[in-house]
């Protein structure tokens, strides 16, 4: 499905990003796996995946909170002079803070990592992607971007902004063969999420009555990244197990 | 370099080589603002440069594009 394609995945060390790397590799894509900091366990994990599936994976390290690092990361990828067919903007942080107690610095930091960082990275890589015939950008938004909840002002707003950016970019990049879509996961049982949910004593609140897995989100990312979704752009697909009625607690 | 530049122009504006010399936003239906940005992105990627905003606006024909590129050290 992705045979011979080259993909960039951010936040590749854990959770949905890690599952996406494995899914893409399984379907034949080569990958630039981006993470914040070099880490031996991550390097060896990526090496194992690349051997298992017979594709190449190159690790790239940069922090989304730092514009010059983002530029350097993009430059490293572009300097390979290879086509970039797929970009998955997955790396993000989360934050829970009631508005009246919220620090504007924290909100700014979240927006830098979850919104402005991915935009700058996309702007740099899109130049190469626009030269391909059928490229795909997949942004990882969130159910919170569609349906805000108390205490989630910064996160919900940033993810909502990413959804709107997805729609705008889809219009601007369509003429150069780049599709731009998003996925809005709900309650996904990635390690980080499970810890957070435990802390916040959150219960399961969806029609299927369970947490989703990172692999289940990666399947939808794969669909949007591949030509199977060739007539889709500017869309956000919720992956939520069926949105319930009471989402104030998740 | 010159052939790469010609190829990019033809590819982005979907024109033949013999139309290049007269190519401007007025003569080509395909030269709208979106395709203009596609051209800028492709030139930046191909020649590994970043245009200043005022130079982006200066590229209003096949010839003027070459003049602007020369400022960035691209030799034809
Ligand atoms: N899990 C859910 O229920 C859920 C629900 C809705 C949306 N999402 C979205 O899904 C995406 C993946 O989340 P996840 O659940 O898989 O969480 P995760 O395991 O925490 O993954 C997030 C990744 O982003 C990276 N990252 C964070 N800050 C960074 C920075 N400043 N620079 C570079 N990388 C940074 C992290 O790298 P480090 O390992 O270096 O920290 C981590 O690998 C996120 O966009 C999240 O908002 C998740």
Q: What domain range is B18 assigned to?
A: 2-71
Residue where the block lists tokens 């490229």: A135
Residue stretches of chain A with pLDDT short of 50: 247-250
Q: Is residue A220 part of a domain?
A: yes
- Domain housing A16: 6-239
- The reply to whether A13 falls in a domain is yes
Partners of B34 on chain A (C-beta within 8 Å) are 172, 175-176
Q: If you average pLDDT over residues B38-49, what whole number do you get? A: 95
B76 in a structural domain = no
CA-nearest residue of chain A to B50? Answer: A124
- Residue numbers of B between 35 and 64 with CB closer than 8 Å to A: 35, 37-38, 41-42, 44-45
| Active site positions of A, annotated | 155
Over chain B, what HEC string results?
Answer: CHHHHHHHHHHHHCCCHHHHHHCCCCCCCCCCHHHHHHHHHHHHHHHCCCCCHHHHHHCCCHHHHHHHHHHCCCCC
Q: Domain containing A144 — which CATH number?
A: 3.40.50.720
- In this predicted structure, what is the pLDDT of residue A25? 98
Q: Do A172 and B44 touch (CB under 8 A)?
A: no
How many domains does chain A divide into?
Answer: 1
User: How close, in Å, is residue A176 to chain B by CA atoms?
Assistant: 7
What is the percent of chain B with per-residue pLDDT over 90, rounded to a whole number? 95
A58 has which bridge partners? Answer: A32
pLDDT at A133: 86
How many separate helices (H) and strands (E) can be counted in chain A?
Answer: 9, 7
Domains contained in chain B, number: 1
**Quick one: which atom of ligand 1 is closest to the CA of A65?**
31
Q: What is the pLDDT of residues A166-177, one digit of tens each?
A: 999 999 999 999
pLDDT tens digits for range B3-31: 999 999 999 999 999 999 999 999 999 99
- Domain assignment of residue A59, yes or no: yes
Complex ipTM value: 0.86
CA distance B65 to chain A (A): 18
CB distance B42–A127 less than 8 Å?
Answer: yes
Residue B18 inside a domain? The answer is yes
Chain A interface, mutation test: which of B45, B46, B53, most A Cβ atoms within 10 Å?
Answer: B45
Which CATH number do you get for residue B44?
1.10.1200.10
Strands A30-35, A236-239: pairing is unpaired
pTM passes above 0.90: yes
């Amino acid at each position: 499905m992705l045979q011979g394609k080259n993909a960039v995945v951010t936040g590749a060390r854990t959770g949905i990003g890690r599952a996406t790397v494995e899914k893409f590799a399984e379907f034949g894509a080569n990958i630039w796996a981006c993470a914040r900091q070099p880490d031996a366990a991550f390097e060896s994990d990526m090496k194992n995946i690349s051997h298992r599936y017979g594709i190449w994976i190159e690790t790239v390290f940069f922090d989304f909170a730092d514009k010059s690092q983002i530029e350097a990361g993009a430059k490293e990828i572009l300097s390979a002079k290879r086509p970039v067919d797929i970009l998955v903007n997955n790396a993000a942080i989360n934050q829970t803070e009631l508005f009246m107690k919220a620090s504007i610095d924290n909100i700014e930091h979240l927006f830098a990592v979850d919104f402005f960082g991915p935009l700058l990275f996309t702007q740099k890589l899109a130049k190469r992607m626009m030269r391909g015939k059928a490229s795909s950008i997949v942004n990882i938004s969130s159910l919170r971007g569609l349906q805000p909840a108390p205490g989630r002002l910064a996160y919900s707003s940033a993810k909502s902004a990413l959804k709107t950016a997805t729609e705008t970019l889809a219009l601007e990049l369509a003429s150069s063969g780049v599709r731009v879509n998003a996925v809005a996961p709900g309650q996904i049982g990635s390690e980080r999420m499970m810890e957070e949910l435990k802390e916040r004593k959150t219960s399961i609140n969806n029609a299927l009555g369970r947490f989703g897995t990172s692999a289940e989100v990666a399947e939808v990312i794969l669909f949007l990244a591949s030509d199977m979704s060739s007539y889709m752009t500017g869309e956000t697909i919720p992956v939520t197990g069926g949105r319930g009625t009471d989402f104030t607690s998740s | 370099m010159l052939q790469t530049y010609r190829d990019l122009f033809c590819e982005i504006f979907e024109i033949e080589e013999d139309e290049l010399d007269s190519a401007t936003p007025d003569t080509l239906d395909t030269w709208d603002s979106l395709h203009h940005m596609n051209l800028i992105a492709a030139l930046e990627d191909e020649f590994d440069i970043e245009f200043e905003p005022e130079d982006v606006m200066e590229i209003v024909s096949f010839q003027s594009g070459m003049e602007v590129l020369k400022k960035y050290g691209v030799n034809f």
